[in-house]
């Protein structure tokens, strides 16, 4: 049942392998409850005696304990914890303490979460198990995808993937994003060999740590290998949209490089230059074909550019759910009829679920939990009946339940116990059980709990914000404008506090229209607390700030400068970060105040 065993066995006949991995998943998902009990047992036995567990188990001998009894004991002794509870332990590891603190196996690598959702990067343990599960979920998902969208063996993937800077901690451990560790791992090469699909760009491009230079080279090489490209992919959809925005600006330069076999002076990193120049050679015919397509596409605002440039591509593959949904519209525009396949659900802490229905539109995708990866618990979240006095809507949390006891339609916060030394760790993601695949739940990602827009008694989640912004941007679209990106802030320094929404837009739109967008958004927040507060003016009119073109690139650059990687970047949808707010406010060129409640 161990993930790594399945991955390393039988790699030659891929058809057989696909059959084998799907059967494996059928078997573990049928016995999900038992597999979960065993998985917890394995984690606790492997890490018996580590400092963190000793705190709760004392000297109790768990080795001889029955697995079910151990499962109940674990939940009764070990408390739920958040990242803050683990931080002192992880910090000691980062500082070089080699004692068995969280795991018996020494931790030599630490991951940095993207930090773009909570505004602060978190350090988390990363082990070989982490890259093995990445490879494993990739191959499992690929097996399901290939049933519907088979791809040619030996083909290429145009992957917009990026590493972060890799830092050394005080204790000499390597720290970088989890994706960076994976691209540097043996598993990344195994993935290419076993799936017989090769990324277009060499390691020097992926590891360039200047995302602008890497994007240029990804595009250039993707076009050079145009006829071999079977799919276009990235970790999060944002990177693909970002890459094609770059392409709109730089296509002529890319074509000129393809024509002459040269490389733009934009690429200054010597190793990246050499690696790309070693691959390219003058291809004037190809360059003129690409040029013709681009001229034509530009006239239709780049609609369908992806299948026109890569006619053999079968689909676009990336995480398109959650905070990536706002980019779907643009992605669909670039991809036209090419299917969009939404990728799996995971986090720096660990992988969670796989998309078993690649045909589903990204809006409807859910994720079947992989019961061997971690031990999963679910905190039931019940929406509070609105408090009539305060008008507050929130969640009442029930006792966590194991995977086998979740109910369809119920919302939960996920709790993970991982092979990397996190015990009953609250992930902060809210999911809803959409159904079951055999005995394992299929989860809809709802939102991240921390991301809440609130001034006083109001509570609006990332979803609520997304819906309001969607409504507002419908008005914008009607008048020929396009929303490029957005974020928000609850301004509470001045009374009454109010919501600020920052929009970067494309196209010329009259001020009257933007004023209307602002009012529509204000009226779209239906949270009772918000509506009541707006009516009584204890929350002021929503403010729409239009920022100048390129502002969200500055936001991206700010995060990248702080060690994030483009591949894991998620525009924070709500922020209190002072530096970010300074960038946004300095770049604001127009402000509108809602008159929705006048």
**Contact flag: residue 347 with ligand AMP (CB under 6 A):** yes
What are the structure tokens assigned to 109, written together? Answer: 């690598």
Considering only residues 345, 423, 499, 552, which one is a binding residue for ligand AMP as defined by CB under 6 A?
345
- Find the shortest distance in angstroms from Cβ 145 to ligand AMP: 15
- Find the shortest distance in angstroms from Cβ 342 to ligand AMP: 7
- Find the shortest distance in angstroms from Cβ 116 to ligand AMP: 7
Whether residue 318 contacts residue 239, with contact meaning beta carbons closer than 8 Å, is answered with yes
Query: With respect to ligand AMP, which residue has the nearer C-beta, 199 or 348?
Result: 348
Q: What is the DSSP string of 284-308?
A: HHHHHHHHHHHHHHHHTTTTTHHHH
Bridge partners (DSSP) of residue 162 are none
70 φ, ψ (degrees, to nearest 5)? -65, -40
Pick the stretch among 110-118, 252-260, 326-334, 500-508 that binds ligand AMP (CB under 6 A): 110-118
Give, in degrees to the nearest 5, the angle at Cα 189 between 186 and 194: 120
Query: With respect to ligand AMP, which residue has the nearer C-beta, 520 or 556?
Result: 556
**Contact flag: residue 348 with ligand AMP (CB under 6 A):** yes
Considering only residues 448, 498, 534, 573, which one is a binding residue for ligand AMP as defined by CB under 6 A?
448
- Find the shortest distance in angstroms from Cβ 320 to ligand AMP: 8
Q: Which residue is nearest to ligand AMP (CB)?
A: 322
- Find the shortest distance in angstroms from Cβ 485 to ligand AMP: 17
**Contact flag: residue 420 with ligand AMP (CB under 6 A):** no
Pick the stretch among 113-121, 152-160, 298-306, 496-504 that binds ligand AMP (CB under 6 A): 113-121
Distance in angstroms (rounded) separating the CA atoms of residues 75 and 402: 10
* CA dihedral (98, 99, 101, 106) positive or negative: positive
Query: Which residues in the 219-248 window bind ligand AMP by CB under 6 A?
Result: none
- Find the shortest distance in angstroms from Cβ 274 to ligand AMP: 31
Query: Which residues in the 530-589 window bind ligand AMP by CB under 6 A?
Result: 568
Distance in angstroms (rounded) separating the CA atoms of residues 568 and 453: 23
Query: With respect to ligand AMP, which residue has the nearer C-beta, 347 or 575?
Result: 347
Query: With respect to ligand AMP, which residue has the nearer C-beta, 498 or 570?
Result: 570
Q: What is the DSSP string of 326-394?
A: GGHHHHHHHHTTSPEEE--EEETTEEEEE---TTS-GGG--EEE-TTTEEEEEEEEEEPPPPTTT----
- Find the shortest distance in angstroms from Cβ 427 to ligand AMP: 6
- Find the shortest distance in angstroms from Cβ 45 to ligand AMP: 27
Query: With respect to ligand AMP, which residue has the nearer C-beta, 114 or 454?
Result: 114
Query: With respect to ligand AMP, which residue has the nearer C-beta, 319 or 542?
Result: 319
- Find the shortest distance in angstroms from Cβ 177 to ligand AMP: 7
Spell out where 207-299 has E strands: 229-236
Binding map of ligand AMP across residues 303-342, x = CB under 6 A, - = no contact = ----------------x-xx--------------------
- Find the shortest distance in angstroms from Cβ 480 to ligand AMP: 31
Cα–Cα distances (Å) from 333 to 161, 314, 552, in that order, read 21, 16, 20
For the chain, the farthest-separated pair of C-alpha atoms sits apart, in whole angstroms, at: 73
Query: With respect to ligand AMP, which residue has the nearer C-beta, 143 or 224?
Result: 143
429 φ, ψ (degrees, to nearest 5)? -90, 140
Give, in degrees to the nearest 5, the angle at Cα 432 between 428 and 435: 140
Query: With respect to ligand AMP, which residue has the nearer C-beta, 448 or 459?
Result: 448
**Contact flag: residue 445 with ligand AMP (CB under 6 A):** yes
What are the structure tokens assigned to 314, written together? Answer: 């079968």
Distance in angstroms (rounded) separating the CA atoms of residues 3 and 374: 11
Distance in angstroms (rounded) separating the CA atoms of residues 480 and 5: 54
Whether residue 569 contacts residue 238, with contact meaning beta carbons closer than 8 Å, is answered with yes
- Find the shortest distance in angstroms from Cβ 348 to ligand AMP: 3
Query: With respect to ligand AMP, which residue has the nearer C-beta, 354 or 518?
Result: 354
Considering only residues 103, 109, 114, 533, which one is a binding residue for ligand AMP as defined by CB under 6 A?
114
Considering only residues 41, 125, 346, 358, which one is a binding residue for ligand AMP as defined by CB under 6 A?
346
Whether residue 28 contacts residue 21, with contact meaning beta carbons closer than 8 Å, is answered with no
Q: Give the total of residues touching ligand AMP (CB under 6 A).
A: 16
Distance in angstroms (rounded) separating the CA atoms of residues 572 and 593: 22
Query: With respect to ligand AMP, which residue has the nearer C-beta, 109 or 594?
Result: 109
Distance in angstroms (rounded) separating the CA atoms of residues 20 and 83: 37
Q: Give which of 346, 194, 222, 213 is closest to 279, Cα–Cα.
A: 222
Q: What is the DSSP string of 189-201?
A: HHHHHHHTEEESS
Spell out where 155-237 has E strands: 155-160, 167-168, 174-177, 197-199, 229-236
Query: With respect to ligand AMP, which residue has the nearer C-beta, 123 or 509?
Result: 123
Bridge partners (DSSP) of residue 342 are 318
Query: With respect to ligand AMP, which residue has the nearer C-beta, 17 or 345?
Result: 345
Distance in angstroms (rounded) separating the CA atoms of residues 212 and 496: 41
What are the structure tokens assigned to 96, written together? Answer: 């070089």
Considering only residues 39, 113, 201, 594, which one is a binding residue for ligand AMP as defined by CB under 6 A?
113
Rg, C-alpha atoms of the chain: 25
Q: For residue 395, give the H/E element and its range.
A: strand 395-397
Pick the stretch among 112-120, 147-155, 265-273, 391-399 that binds ligand AMP (CB under 6 A): 112-120
Query: With respect to ligand AMP, which residue has the nearer C-beta, 200 or 233?
Result: 233
Query: With respect to ligand AMP, which residue has the nearer C-beta, 240 or 287?
Result: 240
**Contact flag: residue 429 with ligand AMP (CB under 6 A):** yes
**Contact flag: residue 131 with ligand AMP (CB under 6 A):** no
- Find the shortest distance in angstroms from Cβ 117 to ligand AMP: 6
Q: For residue 483, give the H/E element and its range.
A: strand 482-491
**Contact flag: residue 130 with ligand AMP (CB under 6 A):** no
- Find the shortest distance in angstroms from Cβ 330 to ligand AMP: 17
Question: What is the binding site for ligand AMP (CB under 6 A)?
Answer: 113-114, 117, 319, 321-322, 344-348, 427, 429, 445, 448, 568
């Amino acid at each position: 049942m161990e993930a790594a065993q399945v991955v390393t066995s039988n790699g030659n006949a891929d058809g057989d392998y696909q059959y084998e991995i799907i059967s494996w998943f059928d078997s573990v998902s049928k016995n999900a409850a038992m597999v979960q009990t065993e998985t917890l047992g394995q984690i606790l036995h492997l890490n018996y005696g580590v400092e963190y567990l000793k705190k709760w188990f004392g000297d109790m001998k768990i080795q001889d304990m029955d697995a079910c009894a151990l499962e109940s004991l674990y939940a009764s002794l070990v408390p739920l914890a958040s990242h803050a509870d683990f931080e002192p332990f992880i910090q000691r590891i980062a500082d070089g303490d080699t004692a068995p603190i969280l795991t018996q196996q020494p931790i030599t690598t630490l991951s940095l979460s993207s930090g773009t959702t909570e505004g602060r990067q978190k350090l988390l343990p990363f082990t070989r198990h982490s890259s093995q599960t990445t490879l494993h979920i990739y191959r499992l998902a690929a097996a399901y995808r290939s049933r519907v969208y088979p791809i040619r063996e030996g083909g290429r993937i145009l992957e917009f993937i990026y590493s972060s800077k890799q830092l050394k901690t005080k204790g000499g451990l390597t720290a970088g994003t989890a994706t960076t560790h994976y691209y540097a791992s043996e598993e990344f090469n195994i993935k290419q060999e076993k799936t017989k699909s090769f990324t277009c760009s060499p390691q020097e491009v992926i590891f360039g740590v200047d995302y602008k230079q890497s994007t240029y080279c990804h595009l250039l090489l993707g076009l050079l290998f145009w006829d071999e490209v079977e799919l276009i992919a990235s970790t999060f959809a944002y990177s693909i949209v970002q890459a094609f925005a770059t392409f709109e600006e730089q296509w002529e330069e890319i074509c000129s490089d393809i024509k002459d076999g040269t490389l733009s002076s934009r690429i200054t990193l010597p190793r990246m230059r050499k690696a790309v120049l070693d691959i390219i050679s003058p291809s004037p015919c190809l360059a003129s074909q690409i040029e013709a397509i681009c001229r034509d596409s530009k006239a239709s605002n780049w609609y369908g550019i992806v299948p026109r440039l890569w006619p053999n591509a079968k689909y676009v593959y990336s995480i398109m759910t959650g905070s990536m949904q706002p980019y779907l519209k643009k992605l669909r525009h670039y991809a036209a009829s090419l299917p969009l396949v939404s990728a799996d659900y995971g986090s720096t802490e660990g992988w969670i679920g796989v998309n078993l229905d690649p045909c589903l539109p990204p809006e409807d995708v859910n994720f079947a939990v992989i019961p061997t990866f971690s031990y999963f618990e679910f905190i039931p979240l019940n929406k509070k009946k609105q408090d009539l006095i305060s008008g507050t809507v929130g969640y009442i949390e029930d006792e966590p339940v194991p995977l086998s006891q979740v109910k369809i339609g119920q919302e939960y916060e996920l709790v993970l116990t991982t092979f990397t030394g996190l015990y009953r760790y609250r992930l902060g993601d809210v999911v809803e059980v959409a159904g079951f695949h055999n005995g394992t739940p299929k989860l809809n990602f709802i939102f991240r709990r921390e991301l809440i827009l609130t001034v006083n008694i109001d509570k609006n989640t990332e979803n609520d914000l997304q819906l309001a912004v969607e409504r507002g941007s419908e008005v914008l679209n009607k008048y020929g404008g396009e929303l490029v990106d957005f974020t928000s802030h609850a301004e509470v320094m001045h009374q009454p506090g109010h919501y600020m929404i920052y929009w970067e837009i494309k196209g010329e739109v009259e001020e009257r229209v933007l004023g209307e967008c602002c009012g529509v958004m204000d009226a779209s927040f239906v949270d009772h607390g918000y509506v009541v507060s707006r009516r009584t003016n204890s929350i002021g009119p929503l403010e729409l700030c239009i920022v100048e073109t390129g502002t969200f690139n500055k936001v991206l650059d700010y995060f990248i400068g702080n060690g994030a990687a483009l591949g894991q970047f998620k525009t924070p949808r709500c922020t209190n970060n002072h530096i970010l707010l300074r960038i946004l406010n300095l770049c604001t060129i127009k402000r509108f105040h809602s008159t929705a409640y006048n």
